[in-house]
Structure 1
């Protein structure tokens, strides 16, 4: 599909001024130039033209808000001064898989003062001796080259950072945790109460059994024996009375 037609389809009944992101990967540029993009895309912040057969950026329109530009797997060899003129606020530029061979080919990127990440992977320039040191020296504003900084620290992945924040924020709400703790405390109190009640009932039952047993023993004694006991008790009481009279 031609680039111009692809861009028209990507608009999806929107006006160019409403588009912030545009992806036209794997379409075809008829003459190696940018086609279908105009100055009307003034709100565009992300543009991806991967593998579209570009050999020149001379017809790139003015895109003042563009921050990220994907141009990998094309036939671009130089003339990058257009980028500083048309996209002065670029922070990320991917030129991997193009025909950039010399440091002089990227020298024009010095004017992209906001450029922080540059990708030249799979370009012939990467075979130069001290390639990384030379590019960092030529473009001091660049922090990450081919995904790594000067100390070989990998560039952060914004998507991964977002996932980590979601995981850190995961978990049941505080109210839910409080409810669970309250339920556990109630269960413990209930179980303690049940143990106390059971213990009391068992003790009460034992006492009742002892009382019943004592009553049964009294009933089992012969009437004569019980009468003899009563007689002795009466005599003992009488003796006590006599002693009181003597005094």
Structure 2
């Protein structure tokens, strides 16, 4: 699908001035130029044109609010000066997988004063000696190059941070339920210990005041009532818990 038609479909009859994000990845540019994008996209903040066959940015319209631009896997080798003219507030620029070979190709980005993150991964320029040091020196406003700063600290990933917060919120209840189960088991165990003490009651054989004696029995919960007279029945009651 060509880029112009793709943009029309993405609009879905909406006014271009209402669009804040636009993705036209894998559409095709017939002549290597930006097509179908006009300066009516005054509120556009994020634009992704990955693998669309771009070789020039000369026809990029003015996008004053654009902050993030994805241009990876195209055929760009120059004309980057257009970015500072048309997108002066860019903070993130991905040019990975393009035909950028020399430092002179990115020199035009010096005028992007708000640029914080630049990606040139898989471009020939990355094979230059002292590539990282040279780019940081040429573009002092850039904090992260290919995802890392000058001290090799990785750039923060906002999506991963959101996932971490979700994980923390969901972890609490599981532990609480386990604690409750343990408490219930402890209570059951303590009750069982109290009932486990059994007593054997023996009636004395017509001696004295016919008193009773209580004797502790360590066996499982069991109560025996014994009548030792010759013809009396023997009654046994068992209580197993």
Alignment of 1:44-55 (within 5 A): 44-55=44-55
Indicate the residue corresponding to 1:226 in structure 2.
none
Deviations 1:107-129 (A, max 9, x none): 11111111111111222222322
Equivalent in the alignment of 1:121: 121
Q: How many residues are treated as equivalent by the alignment?
A: 211
Matched, 1:69 2:49: no
- RMSD, aligned α-carbons: 2.8
86 and 183 in structure 1: CA distance in 2 versus 1, 3 angstrom threshold: same
1:138-217 to 2 correspondence within 5 Å?
A: 138-173=138-173, 177=176, 185=183, 188-189=186-187, 191-193=189-191, 195-197=193-195, 199=197, 202-203=198-199, 205-206=200-201, 209=202, 212-215=203-206
The whole-number CA distance in structure 2 between the counterparts of 1:162 and 1:182 is: 30
SS at match of 1:125: helix
Match of 2:215 in 1: none
Gaps of 5+ in 1: 221-247
Counterpart position of 1:35: 35
1:198-237 superposed Cα distances (whole Å, 9 cap, x missing partner): 53xx33x43xx1xx233279999xxxxxxxxxxxxxxxxx
Q: Which of the pair is proportionally richer in helix?
A: 1
TM-score normalised by L of structure 2: 0.76
User: In the aligned structure 1, how far is the partner of 2:178 from the partner of 2:169?
Assistant: 20
Secondary structure class of the residue paired with 2:205 = helix
* Separation in structure 2 between the aligned mates of residue 67 and residue 61 of structure 1, nearest angstrom: 14
Quickly say closer, same or farther: Cα 1:180–1:145, change in 2 above 3 A: closer
Distance 2:204 2:103 in 1: 111
CA distance in 2, matches of 1:148, 1:180: 42
Q: Secondary structure at the match of 1:59?
A: coil
88-97 vs 14-23, which moves further: 14-23
CA distance 1:188–1:119, change in 2 (3 Å):
closer
Unaligned runs of 5+ in 2: 211-227, 229-241
* Aligned equivalents of 2:102, 2:207: Cα separation in 1: 117
Q: How many angstroms apart in 1 are the aligned matches of 2:18 and 2:145?
A: 32
